Every structure is written in C-alpha cells, then in structure tokens.
Structure 1
C-alpha cells in the first residue's frame, strides 16, 4: 500500500513539473514568435507641421484659422503581410491610450487656443503581432458599434473623454478637428445642436460621429444600429511599420470647404448630419459616402 502511495505521489509530482515546464516553454515560444510593433502618425497642415499655437490659411477661399482641437479614434488595426493575409495587431492595454481594439490619436496639447484638450499628446499605436514581413495597413476611423454608445463618465480610458462624447444616443465623436477664425460665419447666431452642443459662429467644428441613431431620448442607447455609422475603413499600401509614418493632413480635409460660411439652421461646421452641405467635401476626404454618394476614396491619410 505504501509503495502504491509513493508511486502515485511521484507520478503527481512528475505530472505537475512537466505541466509547468510545458507551460513556460510554450510561453517562451509564443513570445519568440511575436514582435512588438509601433505605428507612427504625424499631423500636417499642407507642408507645415500641425501646432495649436499657429495660424494657417485653409479652406476655399483661403481663410486664416487657428486650431482648437485635433483628436480621433481608430479601431481594428491590421497589417497585411506579403501573402496578402490580414493580421490584427494585439494592442497593448496601457490603461490610457488604448483599450481593447481601440486607440486614441491626440495631436493637441492644450496650448495656444487648444484649451479644451489635454496636455499629453499621442502619435503612436503600440501592440504585438506575429513575426513576419508586412507591406500594408488597414484600420477603421471611428469606434465599433459595441463601444460607441457607452457612458463616457464610467468608461475606461481613452473612452472617458467627455469632450469626445455627444450622448448615449449618438455616442462618441470619432474625430474632433476644430478651428477658430476672425470672420463671423453666416448665420451668426449661437446655435443649439441636437447633439447637445452650443457653439458660436466664428468657428468651424468638424465632429465626425454616427447619426440616425434611434432612441426615445438622448440619454438612452439606440435600440437598433445607427442609419449612418459614419466610420471609414482606411487602406494604405506600401506601409512598413519600421520605415513608414502615417501622415494626416488637415489642409486636405477642408480644401474644398468655405470655413466662413455655414448652412442655415445647422451647427457651425460639420456635425456629420446628412442634410448639412458643409459636410460634403469633408466626408469625401474622410472616405465616407455622403449626400447620395455610393463610394468615395479617402485622402485624409497617406504614407510617408
């Protein structure tokens, strides 16, 4: 009986030791098969770097504007390998800039006129991916539906920024790119937008987000998917993470937009509403069909 007990104990010890050895070995193998990857972003205004404290001539006709904000969310970031296989990047869960499959890119630094923002900036996305050679990148400008209609006061960072949130019904502002100018827009009265924002006429606000979201009140989540998700799938060829940078040019974004005029009975700028013609050129640059268009090619992001 003692011999059997001793034998069983020895087997158990061996089994546990083998299991631990196998676990740690597999962990090392998995670690060796993955690599950390950093995706770099750069903000430009034509041929100039973006800065909160600078003035730029933008739009059509050219108008002197001062940046107020420049932030956006991206999701589902994927690299394309040399076999044309799409490989998702497992984002580092840093508790601040990245959450699940979402990352925040933030170029404003709360200086100059960017008083509504944050001091810290973020121009990279960091994650892990299987070792290999990659030639292109794909991601979504915006948030996935399952994360878009959360309470920003309770959500984890970076989804906890109330300045990037409308309300439960419409969800988040996927992008916030705001300008101020010295010319009063027409009409000049302060306008209360249905998203809850109240803004004056000497500014042009670009707030990209979902519209056509059906709910009984703005404090409730939609019961169905929004009619206009207003997300854009971005495909960029000739991109190698170690060599290339993704460039975002806000001069291109408003190249065909008059920043000093505003459609009557709409908020200053573009709030993604389908009846707001001030959004036409902007949505086209984002790569989002708008105003009856069926498909458009984005020009907001490029590779350098």
Structure 2
C-alpha cells in the first residue's frame, strides 16, 4: 500500500460514525411528552357520581348516572403546517393498548353502580418536538381490535362490561342513566350481564317501561350490521355501520386545554322518559331505533340515512 493510500485509509477510519452511517441510524427524532386532558361534564357542571342532574333532554328529566366510560383511538395532534402527527401512546398495561385509550369518569361511588373505583381522565404519549395547535381523535375502537374476545384481550380491552360479543365488538361509549322516579325502585336497572347479547348482535339489553315511563336510558355506542361468514366467530369485513366518529378541533392547546365530554349536550335532543316500543332500552346504536336519532347525530354520526350536522358531545374549555 502506498503512502497516499495509507493516509486515505486512516482518514476514513477516523471519521465520525454519523458521517458515514445512513441517516436513519445517525439521527433520532426528538420527542416531547403529552398529557391530553379530558373531563366528563353535564352542561357547565363537572360530572360526579355523587350528584343527580336535572333538566336533561327534551323533557328536562332528572337522572342519575350509573356509568360513564368511553374508548378513543388514533389520537393525533395537528401542527402549525396543518399536518396530523400521531401520538405514540404510552403502553402502560392498564389504560392504553396500541393506539386505543380508555377514559373512565366514574369511580363506582354514589349513583355509579357499575365500573371500577379507578378513574382515568387523560391520554398519555409522545410526539416529535414541535408546536401543535389542534387535535384529532376517533371515538371508538379500530376494526382490527374491535372483534376480539374481551376475556382474553389485554387491558383496557379486557373489560367485558364494555363489550357486547364477538360479532358486535366493544361498546365505544357506555353511559347509563336512571330516571329520578325509578331511583330506589329498580336499582338494578342498569346492571346487565357483562356478556349481554350473545344471541344476536346487541341482543339481551331490552328494557321495559314502568307505568308508561322508561326505567332509564342506556347509551351504548358501537358498530352494527356486522356480518359473520360461514363458521367465523367474528366479522372479517367492515361492519355496515362502524359508528366510529372522527373528532377534530383545529384550535387546541395540548398544554392547557381540556376536552370536555358533555352528557347534557349528548342527550339534548332525546326524550329520556320514554322508550320506543320493542327496542333496546335507550340507544344501543340500532339503525332502526328512533331513540338513537338524536344520540348518534350528537356523536357526529348518521342514523337511518339522515346525516349529522356535526358532533356536540365534545368541546374544548
């Protein structure tokens, strides 16, 4: 080897690794943590299991809330350029799995006869370092996770009380209400088997009237028109009505703003005192259930081929 060749070899071996390594190895994107805050509210009042709420729905009903939980997924922040940037969720083994997070506003005290003592009001993860001015997320569970067996699924998808069955999948939202006149009279109204509905897509959750008045109003949002093929236990193609709602706020500060889930706004167009005959109690997302019209529209979803004018359930404060 000549003197010049030896010098070239020495120079090459002394170069920093980053100078000769592929860019994908040499650079690691900086990230920042985000803790996105949510809050259950009833109008302007913070939700509490210790309270009852008056003036709800078209008949200004007084109700107690016995459950208030929901799943969100595909959470993305919007940067200054208008790009959607996925939030990489913390895999905590309890509240978040892959890109799904459970929000739980009830604590199993007071009127909240369902659920668990633990609450969860935030989504935690990381994004590339930057400035973010908006947020987008999906209310619901993605199809590829929606039709698994809840008894075998990782937390938070292992809650059978948030699951219908293999065919229907998960209850994306579970809000259970009990009418004031029923309180203490039928205290078990909202307490169903965690495996309700194995005979059909969402069967087993029908409720009767009490002297012409509905015992309560259950709001269970989930996919419908999910078809099984052959001997398959779960659908292999998308459900006819996925009922997943994309929620977008262009003006949102992830460091200070709170996303409100407003029960009063959700039920504003619904009569909570009566139940359409021969249908599930309240709204189980049935496409032919008139009690679901206002509820699904306020989730931002169409119902019976009638489009929603926009969701009202979530707002920013």
**Which of 144, 148, 155 in structure 1 is aligned with 2:153?**
155
User: Which residue in the other structure is 2:44 paired with?
Assistant: 47
Cα pair 2:64 2:180 within 8 Å, conserved = no
**Which of 262, 266, 275 in structure 1 is aligned with 2:275?**
262
For 1:295 and 1:48, the matched residues in 2 are separated by: 26
User: Which residue in the other structure is 2:3 paired with?
Assistant: none
Cα pair 1:170 1:218 within 8 Å, conserved = no
Secondary structure class of the residue paired with 1:269: coil
For 1:99 and 1:229, the matched residues in 2 are separated by: 20
Change (3 A) 1:183 1:75: same
Cα pair 1:55 1:65 within 8 Å, conserved = yes
Structure 2 unaligned spans of 5+: 1-9, 209-214
Question: Given the two structures, how large is their TM-score scaled by the length of structure 2?
Answer: 0.82
Matched residue count:
282
Please provide the CA RMSD for this pair: 2.7
Within 5 Å, give how 1:135-284 maps onto structure 2. 135-183=133-181, 194=200, 195-198=202-205, 200-201=207-208, 202-215=215-228, 220-284=233-297
Secondary structure class of the residue paired with 2:28: helix
For 1:218 and 1:158, the matched residues in 2 are separated by: 28
For 1:162 and 1:249, the matched residues in 2 are separated by: 25
> In the TM superposition, what whole-angstrom CA distance separates every residue of 1:212-266 from its partner, at most 9, and x where no partner exists?
0112699820242210001100001210110211111100000111111101110
For 1:59 and 1:217, the matched residues in 2 are separated by: 43
Residue 267 of structure 1 deviates from its aligned partner by 1.1
**Which of 31, 48, 59 in structure 2 is aligned with 1:34?**
31
> In the TM superposition, what whole-angstrom CA distance separates every residue of 1:142-161 from its partner, at most 9, and x where no partner exists?
01100000000000000000
Cα pair 1:43 1:248 within 8 Å, conserved = yes
Secondary structure class of the residue paired with 2:298: helix
